[in-house]
Amino acid sequence: MRLKWSKLWPALIGAVIASGLGVVLVNYPLGRGLVNLSYDVPLSLRQRYQPSPVPQDAVIIYIDDQSAGRLGQEVSRTWERSLHAKLLNRLTADGARSVTYDIFFADPSPPEKKNHDEEFAQAIKRNGRVVLGANFSHLGYEKDAGAIGMQIMPPLDIFSESAANLASVETNPDNDLVIRRHLPFSKRDLVPPLAWAAAELSGASSATSAVVRATERWINYYGPPRSIPSFSFYRAVPDSQDQPLPQGFFKDKSVFIGGGFMTRLASDRKDEFATPFWLNRVESTDLRFMAGVEMHATVFLNLLRGEWLTRTSGGTEFWLMLGSGAVLGFSLTRLRPVLASLLAVSAAAMFAIIGYVAVTRYLTWYPWAIPVLAIIPTAWGWSVFYNSVSLYVQKRVLEQSLSRYLSPKLVKIFANRPEFLKTGAEKQLVTILFSDIANFTSLSEGMDGDQLAKSMNSYFDRAVPSCIFKTDGTVMKFIGDAIFAIWNAPEAQPDHHLRACRAALLLRDEMSDFKLPGSDTPLRTRIGLHTGIANVGNFGSADKFGYDAIGENINRASRMEGLNKYLGTDVLITGETHQAIEGQLISRHLGSFRLKGFEKAVEVFELVSEPEKAAESKAWRESFAEGLKTFVKREFTEAETSFHRVLELKPGDGPSSYYLERITELKASPPGPDWTGVIELKEK
C-alpha cells in the first residue's frame, strides 16, 4: 500500500494544482486576459481562413473627413441640420427599412438656421422609422458604491417628438477597449440599446423575445473594421455630383448614420474601439479600430439574423476546468516526459480546435485558452518538475547502489542506465575474485562488536577503492571478512583477466601492513581467482534484490581462495585465468588439484609479481618447476632435492613444504599405476 501511495500522491498534487488554477482563472479577473483571448482568436482565424459573406441588410453612412470637405462643413462643429434633412428625405424616398442615428442631437442650430431644425424634424416625422440616440448622466457618486442612478438625456424635444424611438448610444467595452458583449437590456432600462431599437423597427423577431432579452449575448463580428457596406455622407445626399449613389439604393435596408472621422490627436475623443481581429494583418492604420456606429450595426445584424455568439454556462465551465485540470494534472504526472509532452500537445490542440469549431459552426464559445495556456502548461510543468526531481533522486539512489559494486568511473557510466536495476540475469564470461583474511576468527576474538565493525569498515574502505575499483572491478558482496568481486560485468572488459590479477596483487601488497586494534600481527589476505561463465544480474524477490553472480565457476573461485590455506600461498589462479595473462605477469605452476565437490581436476598457478620483479624470483621458480616435473614422473627423491633447494632460496615457501609432505605420504603408500600427479583434496 505504501508503494502505491508513493506513486499516487504526486499525481494527485498535479491534479489539484491544475484544476485549482483553472477554476480560479475562469471565475476571477486574474484569468480575464485568457478568457478574452478565447473569444478573439477563433474570430480572427475564421476571418483569415473561412471568411463568410457579410450580410447586406445594413448600410452605414459615415459623417467623415471627405464629406466635411465636399459639403463645406467643419469637422469639429455640428453640421447643418438641413443636410440631415436632405439625406433623410432621400432615404424615405428610397424606401429604407429603418434609419438609426448614432449621433446625439443635443444642441439647437444657430438662430439664423433655426428653420433647419424644423426641416430635420419634419423629415424625421415623415420617415416614421427613425431611431435617435440618447445619452445618460449619473445622478451622483458614492465613495464605496461608485456611480448611483442614471438620468436620460434625450435629444432636443423637436427631434424626440418626431422620432419613432429613442435609444442608448452607450457601448460596453472591456478593459482593453474591445467590445465583446451586447449591451444588457431589461424592462427596467429607460430606453433600449441603439441596435435593439433598430432591430425592433426592422421587424426582427428576437427584438420582441423576453428570452433573448434575458440572455447574455456576445458580438459575432462579420469581419474587421469597414466590413459592413459603408459610404461617405456626401455620396448619399440628393443631387450629389461626386460618386452619387443611385436612386433606390437604400430600399429595404437598415441605415446607420454616425461618425467616421480620422483621429488626429491623442486628446481627441474617439468614437472607436479595438477589435478582436488583432491576429489579422491590417495594411491601413485607419482599420485598427472600429467606429462605434459599425459596432451598433454589427449588433443589429446579430439580432436581425439571430447570429450572436453564446458563451457556455458558468457551471459548465467550472466542471470543464475542474475536470480537465484533474485529468491532465494526474495523467501527465504519471507519464514519462516524452509521452507527457505528446499528451499535452494533443490535449492543447484538441481544446483549441473545439474552440474554433464551436464558434464557426455552432456560434458558441468557451474559455479554451485557459486549458491551453494555463492548465496544460502547469500540469506539464509539474510533471516535468516532479519527474525531473524523481529521476534525479533515482539517479542518486542508483549511484549510491552502484557505488557498492562499481568504481566511480563505472558509476558515472551506469548511473544513466536505470535498466541496470531491473531483475534478471544473463550468462557472462567473468573473472572472479574471492579474498579472505587468514586466521581472522582467532585474531578478532575478544574484540568489541563496534570496534570490530569499524576495523572491518576501515579494511574494506582501503582495500576496495585502492585495489578493486582501481582496476574497475565490480564488488558483488562482502561476506564477513571476505570480498567477492568480478570483472567483465556489467561493463565488457576485454582484458578482464589481467585487471583481476593486478587487483589481486594490489590487494596482497596494499593490505600487508593492515593490523587490527591491539594486535601487532599484520593481517594476511588470501586470494583466489578463476575465469568462467556465470549468471550475472539482479536476483531476489519483487521487493528486494541485489546485483550478484552465481554458478559453478563462482564456487571454483571460492575453492581457489581456500586452497591458499593448504599451500601456504597468498594468490592462486586457475589455468583458465593463467592462460589469458601468461607472459604479462609472473606466476608459477603449482600442479593439478581435484577440489572437493568437483570431478574435473584444475590446473593451479600462484600469482607472483609484475614482470619488472621477475629476476627476484627466477631462481626459486625454476627450482620449483623442476621439482614439480620430477614429482609428476614419480621421481620423488629428485623432487625432494628440488623442493629443498627452493626452501633454501625462499625460506618458508608454502608449496614446497606442502609437496615435501605429500612425497613423504606417497613414499609410505605409493600411488597406483594410473596416478598422473593430480592431488585430490578431501576438504574445502
Q: 193 burial class (0-12, 13-18, 19+ CB within 10 angstroms)?
A: buried
Least confident of 163-177, 353-367, 530-544: 530-544
Is the domain of 147 the same as that of 293?
A: yes
Is the domain of 372 the same as that of 505?
A: no
Q: Is 605 domain-assigned?
A: yes
What percentage of the chain reaches a pLDDT higher than 70?
88
Q: Is 563 domain-assigned?
A: yes
The pLDDT of residue 2 is 45
Span 279-305, average pLDDT: 80
CB 120 within 8 A of CB 101: no
Span 503-514, average pLDDT: 93
Total domains, the chain: 3
The pLDDT of residue 188 is 65
Query: Per-residue pLDDT tens for 214-227?
Result: 889 999 999 889 99
Assign 312 to helix, strand or coil.
coil
Q: Is 566 domain-assigned?
A: yes
| Residue 532, all three cell numbers | 568462467
* Confidence tier at 416 by pLDDT (50, 70, 90): low
Domain that holds residue 83: 53-306
CB 99 within 8 A of CB 131: yes
The pLDDT of residue 545 is 58
For residue 439, is it left (φ>0), alpha (ψ between -120 and 50) or beta?
left
CB 620 within 8 A of CB 651: no
- What type of residue sits at position 618? K
Closest to 439 (Cα-Cα) out of 340, 554, 525: 525
Closest to 233 (Cα-Cα) out of 76, 80, 87, 56: 87
The last residue of a domain, from among 306, 323, 351: 306
Report the CATH number at residue 514: 3.30.70.1230
Least confident of 32-46, 133-147, 169-183, 327-341: 133-147
CA distance 303 to 324: 34
pTM above 0.85, yes or no: no
The last residue of a domain, from among 327, 359, 381: 381
Q: Is 297 domain-assigned?
A: yes
Is the domain of 82 the same as that of 29?
A: no
Is the domain of 168 the same as that of 269?
A: yes
- pLDDT higher than 60, residue 149: no
Q: Is 440 domain-assigned?
A: yes
Q: Is 334 domain-assigned?
A: yes
Is the domain of 198 the same as that of 342?
A: no
What percentage of the chain reaches a pLDDT higher than 90?
59
Q: How far is CA 402 from CA 153, 190, 534, in A?
A: 85, 82, 20
- pLDDT higher than 90, residue 48: no
Is the domain of 318 the same as that of 289?
A: no
Question: Residue holding cell 561463465?
Answer: 533
Question: Residue holding cell 567477492?
Answer: 484
The pLDDT of residue 280 is 66
The pLDDT of residue 80 is 92
Closest to 573 (Cα-Cα) out of 621, 525, 529, 531: 529
Helix axes 2-27, 32-49, angle to 10 degrees: 80
The pLDDT of residue 75 is 75
| Residue 536, all three cell numbers | 550475472
Q: How far is CA 554 from CA 293, 377, 504, 557, 559, in A?
A: 94, 54, 16, 5, 9
Is the domain of 194 the same as that of 75?
A: yes
Is the domain of 575 the same as that of 462?
A: yes
- What type of residue sits at position 674? D
- What type of residue sits at position 241? Q
Please name the residues in contact with 608: beta carbons below 8 A apart, sequence gap of 6 or more: 585, 586, 587, 588, 617, 621
- pLDDT higher than 90, residue 234: yes
CA distance 606 to 327: 67
CA distance 148 to 211: 28
Is the domain of 523 the same as that of 540?
A: yes
CB 208 within 8 A of CB 264: no
Q: Is 98 domain-assigned?
A: yes
Is the domain of 59 the same as that of 178?
A: yes
The last residue of a domain, from among 306, 335, 360: 306
Closest to 233 (Cα-Cα) out of 83, 11, 377, 95: 83
The pLDDT of residue 442 is 79
Q: Is 376 domain-assigned?
A: yes
Please name the residues in contact with 549: beta carbons below 8 A apart, sequence gap of 6 or more: 428, 430, 432, 476, 486, 489, 534, 535, 536
CB 278 within 8 A of CB 40: yes
Q: How many CA atoms lie within 13 A of 620 on its CB side?
A: 21
CB 548 within 8 A of CB 539: yes
Please name the residues in contact with 629: beta carbons below 8 A apart, sequence gap of 6 or more: none
- pLDDT higher than 70, residue 415: no
Q: Hey, what's the torsion of the CAs at 626, 583, 503, 520, to 10 degrees?
A: 30
CA distance 510 to 57: 101
The pLDDT of residue 145 is 43
Q: How far is CA 635 from CA 406, 627, 642, in A?
A: 49, 9, 11
Query: Per-residue pLDDT tens for 623-679?
Result: 999 999 999 999 999 999 999 999 999 999 999 999 999 999 999 999 988 898 999
* Angle of CA points 229, 361, 198, to nearest 5°: 40
Is the domain of 120 the same as that of 251?
A: yes
Is the domain of 18 the same as that of 147?
A: no
Query: Per-residue pLDDT tens for 97-111?
Result: 999 999 999 889 888
- pLDDT higher than 60, residue 388: yes
Question: Residue holding cell 609432505?
Answer: 661
SS (H, E, C) 258-304: EECCCCCCCCCCCCEEECCCCCCCCCCHHHHEEEHHHHHHHHHHHHH
